[in-house]
Structure 1
Amino acid sequence: MIVKLDTSGNIIFFNEFAQHFLGFKDIKINEKIILSTIYSNTDSNERNISDFVKNLLHNPEKYDNNLSEIIKKDGVRCWIAWTNKLLLDSQGKITGILSIGHDITDQKIVEEKLLAIINFLPDATFVIDIEGKVIAWNYAIEEITGVKAENIIGMGNYEYSLALYNKREPIFIDYALRPDLDISNRYTNYKQEGNSIIGETYNTFLNPNGIYLWGKASSLFDANGNIIGAIESFRDITHLKNEKP
């Protein structure tokens, strides 16, 4: 979808695909205000859309890329990934915003279902996307690390490694994305099983007395076979290591 907004938030242009997709083919979309046309007051995550759009219009440099939930004319909600670009006149004054949107509703549904499943796994589990940003962080890993999901979701730069080992460096889950990484200095008894890697490590950050962790990391793929991220689960096996033969 291609959409142009003026500085007041009016939609001044919708391409034909956007009109068909959103169901506004037969109305003069440029006479509608964006908030009352495709946004409700809040999205399903209770984010205030009015404030969000105002921020987009007044601080567009912070929103080169963003996700938002919109409402079609028939009331169906969908998620759109937007890429935004300022429109300037010959004097460099901002005259509006050009936004290109891609429907990622199916992806969001899959992510939400995946998150619901992950949250009830007994093992500490987290997921990163292809850029290394955390997109899922379950209850079990919150408990073992003390880091809440809301404080790490969307974070990159090895924030998950910092939470687990107090170091920003590649760990098991990164190997699932990049098998060329050398992990021999951190993990032992590791082996490759298809798109997964299994191994053990000794951790003194999560417990000063030291604990043994068994983990498994796997690549995640889209419908076309492209890697889109990775998932890692691990559990404390210290009691097994300490058992006498």
Structure 2
Amino acid sequence: MVKKPTGKNTSGRGQRDLTVKVKTARGRTLSSTRWLQRQLNDPYVVRAKAEGYRGRAAFKIMELDDKFRFLVPGARVLDLGCAPGGWIQVAVPRINALGEKSGKAVGRIVGIDLQEVDDIPGAEIHQLDFMADDADLQVKEWLGGQADVVMSDMAASSSGHKQTDHLRIIALCEAAAYLSFDVLSDGGTFVAKVLAGGAEGELQKLLKQKFTKVAHVKPPSSRSDSSEKFVIASGFRGNAEGE
């Protein structure tokens, strides 16, 4: 029986310090062996499996929300590039999408992705290119209005060249930000993954024009050898007439 994710951060509870060693097998490269060993010894991978999450990335949004509190009961949330669905699994109980918290407002979450994603109770998931014409109108129809939160853990396919990958993810994040301007309600929050690398200045300038507060955070579950960090822009100012 698969455990139902609770959306709660259980960091530090019942963890054991065990090291799994992986031998290089015939047909397996040294790099793939190292990757497999890292996965088997990653405490967040172990926790994700034990707690029923679809990936370790679930703990990133969990830690970000613990700090900034944007996934609240009654919130309407859009998850861009939602596959495999770990962020949605965390959001569903926190926004009370299933109505299980008596006396609390019931939230709504819509996830979109280019690929098909298995259903998650309490969420509505669609295959859609968020950069398609009228994607904003479609999203607002599914949400039943403006979003309170737009979140994105999207990353462009790796080219193996660090600077190129950095530019690609910044471009993707900018595109997600522009969509958020079209679908967010006043006071809303935008959360997205970026890669440190020097080209995020324009993105930060753009977000500071649109939001009252912009923060950059590397959550504890983000691997120390990764250049990823997350931007949390809160207090959406809305769009001026004619903008």
TM-score normalized with structure 2 length: 0.30
Higher helix fraction (1 or 2): 2
More strand per residue: 1 or 2?
1
Task: Give the number of the structure whose alpha-carbon radius of gyration is greater.
Answer: 1
Whose relative contact order is higher, 1 or 2, with alpha carbons under 8 Å and at least 6 apart? 2
- TM-score, reference length from structure 1: 0.30
